[in-house]
A and B are shown apart, each in its own frame.
Chain A
Amino acid sequence: MQQASGRDDAHADRCGVRTVRAGNTRMVQASQRTVEEGGGSCVSSFCPGEMAGIKALISLSFGGAIGLMFLMLGCALPVYDKYWPLFLLFFYILSPIPYCISRRVVDDTDSASNACKELAIFLTTGIVISAFGLPIVFARAEVIAWGACALVLTGNVVIFGTILGFFLVFGSNDDFSWQQW
């Protein structure tokens, strides 16, 4: 009993995790179990469901950073040095908007909501196709080099994969609210 409370105190001092100091043995053991389940590091006060959400968020943000890195490489390498592909940022920002609007506006399963959802999917597909078409048109018009076009298209694929992954992981709950973080 004494060693358990000593370990609790050391853990609390290292990570700032506060375990409830209760009188009976059972409560101390339960809080220890929760602390050890969470991974034993400083994020151990989260439950495992949030842990998976945070891992997905971190990997999605890494994917987004890699995609933007490809876009900037396609613009800023000294052999290319043309900043026209930055117009694609406009398409990246626009692409989740139709689907988000359709999710917010209608929440029934009648025919009007299906038509709205299909219109949103149509527009989103159009924005994605435009984001692939613009670098190709630039490269064919010799505004940018074909190597830059290839880098920018790779960045496109990564970023749209990230956005899709974001919607698959975080968008599938019924009430789409921003307070889940």
Chain B
Amino acid sequence: MSGFLDGIRCGDCECNVDWGERRNTIASIAAGVLFFTGWWIIIDAAVKYPDEGTFHHAYHTCGVIATVAFLMINAVSNGQVRGDSYSEGCIGQTGARVWLFLGFMLAFGSLIASMWILFGGFVVPRKSCLSVFCGAIFLILSSFLLIRGLVFKFGRTEDLWQ
């Protein structure tokens, strides 16, 4: 009776086995879940509030630009930006860096635009579908941030910009 909690161990599990391989798979699954859930929330908002007054159709551009940025960022691998891959590709290492820079700029721009739309278009006029919209934008943007952050973090240990 006196030692019945001795058998409980926290953090002693062997789930660190093959963690390097599983990390990428789990990151892909998590990014996929977030990205597509965000898009389905946008589709749901567009279906529920089809008129222009409650849900401006121009607000869709946030999601589209975020998707384009996601594709641009993930098209470039770490190796091409660092310059240690075998082939240089079409635009070389500097081109890869410029591409990545533009991709991140589009992504952060759509994040800022979504915050602006959230506060300017929904919170201040007290519209009803704000929760739906903000959830969608956050999910899309967090998905690409997640996948790119994980790819950067779990890459090699040398610095990215040398």
Binding site for B on A (CB under 8 A): 111, 114-115, 118-119, 121-126, 129-130, 133-134, 136-137, 140-141
Query: Quick check: B36 and A130 within 8 Å, CB to CB?
Result: yes
Chain B nearest CB, measured from A124 CB (Å): 8
**Prevailing SS type, chain A contact patch:** helix
With a cutoff of 8 Å between Cβ atoms, the chain B residues found around residue A140 in the complex are 44, 47-48
Query: Quick check: A114 and B24 within 8 Å, CB to CB?
Result: yes
Which size bracket describes the interface of B in this complex? 10 to 19
Q: Which of A115, A125, A137 contacts B29 (CB 8 A)?
A: A125
What residue of chain A has the Cβ atom nearest to residue B29's Cβ? Answer: A125
Q: A118-B24, A121-B25 are in contact. Are A126 and B35 (CB under 8 A)?
A: yes
Report the bound CA distance from A86 to B47 in whole Å.
Answer: 19
Chain B nearest CB, measured from A147 CB (Å): 19
Query: Quick check: A129 and B28 within 8 Å, CB to CB?
Result: no
Query: Quick check: A118 and B25 within 8 Å, CB to CB?
Result: yes
Q: Which of A115, A129, A137 contacts B32 (CB 8 A)?
A: A129
Q: Which of B24, B28, B32, B36 contacts A133 (CB 8 A)?
A: B36
B31 at interface (Cβ–Cβ under 8 A)?
yes
